[in-house]
Amino acid sequence: MNVSLLLHLTILFVFPPLLLGFIGKTKAFFAGRIGPPLLQPYFDFFKLMRKASVYSVTTNWIFRAAPMVSTAAILAAGFMTPIAAFKPPVQFWGDIILFVYLFALARFVIILAALDTGSSFEGMGASREATFGCLSEITMFLNLTILALLSGSLSLSEIFLGGLSSSWLLVGPVLILVVVSFFLVLLVENSRIPIDDPDTHLELTMIHEVMVLDHSGADLGFILYGKAVKLFLFGSILVSIIFTFKTQDLLTDTALFIFEIIGLAIFIGVIESTMARLRLNKVPYLLFSAFIFSVIGFTVILVRGHS
């Protein structure tokens, strides 16, 4: 039990920035460049940690607390997420609801901090984030509801470590809908390319990036780290839906999981390199379609029965 717990925590805390490294490498490969080293996100993190933060005089404690609260909330969600075949350290009946709302809390404090700066530019980003956030949240809830109906459990660990593999045989099409819809939610929540470009600073279309412009030093480091962990958590849930095969051997499962999630990162990188960013007024359509995919899946489950 202790080995599994240790592995869970190590992967949760150490691994996430590497995903960003893989995405960056993939994009560099498509652009014909060598690109930054795989460990670049770690270097950035440590560089930011050494720097002092600058606070505007218009801000108050909310602005200072937001990076810590949001990172802590995301990490707390990480404690409940089943990674590879490990039993998560925290699990109880109904933790999927807390799981979703921890992400909502993280988003909420960042929005508050953005409003706290008093800059109208950041307020605009906050409004966009809130709009897309409320659309993606309902989709995510619906997807988790489908999974909960299929596995007959309201706990993340039982959903993902239990019997999704038999569901693939019975209601495979529905699970494909869930995967597609969840992948779109992943792209929206982590502001990846068809929705938002994490690398540019072009004012017109920025969503997430615009809200953290005023953060600096260790605060910015925490925010970037929290973002990486969020991407990792969404990715690990997606991977646990798709690949239900488990060998029951701890180390093999971990290695498999690492390969799968790196594959997902490379896939995201491919999408970012081959697709252009959507116009901002088209983004809600993408979210509507993700929502409707899960609505179709939900109704199919209701009609077909979920046993």
Partner 1 sequence: MNVWLDAILILILILGLFIVTSTRLGTMIQIFSMQSVFLGCVPFFLYAKDMEAYIIIVALAAIVLRGFVMPNFLFWAIRHVSVRSEVSPFIGIGTTLLLSGFSIAGSFLLASKLIFPVSISSGLVIPSSFSLIIMGFLLLVGRTKAISQVIGYLVLENGIFLFAILLLKKMPLLVEMGILLDLFIAAVVMGIVVNHISDEFNNTDTIVLTTLKD
Kindly list the residues in this chain that would bind partner 1 in the complex (CB under 8 A).
169-174, 176-177, 284-285, 288-289, 291-293, 295-296, 298-300, 302-304
For partner 1, which is the closer residue by CB, 155 or 294?
294
For partner 1, which is the closer residue by CB, 94 or 173?
173
CB of 272 to partner 1, least distance (A): 22
CB of 297 to partner 1, least distance (A): 8
CA 129 to chain centre: 14
For partner 1, which is the closer residue by CB, 176 or 271?
176
For partner 1, which is the closer residue by CB, 139 or 155?
139
Q: How many CB atoms lie within 10 A of CB 30?
A: 14
For partner 1, which is the closer residue by CB, 252 or 299?
299
Q: Which long-range contacts (CB under 8 A, 24 or more apart) does 194-203 make?
A: 194/271, 194/275, 194/276, 194/277, 194/278, 194/286, 195/132, 195/277, 195/278, 195/283, 195/286, 196/277, 197/277, 203/121
For partner 1, which is the closer residue by CB, 218 or 295?
295
- What one-character DSSP code corresponds to residue 203? G
CB of 293 to partner 1, least distance (A): 7
Q: How many CB atoms lie within 10 A of CB 295?
A: 15
Q: What amino acid is encoded at 208 in this protein?
A: H
Q: How many CB atoms lie within 10 A of CB 50?
A: 9
CB of 14 to partner 1, least distance (A): 39
Q: What amino acid is encoded at 161 in this protein?
A: L
CB of 283 to partner 1, least distance (A): 11
Task: Give dist(CA 238, CA 164) in Å, integer.
Answer: 12
CB of 298 to partner 1, least distance (A): 8
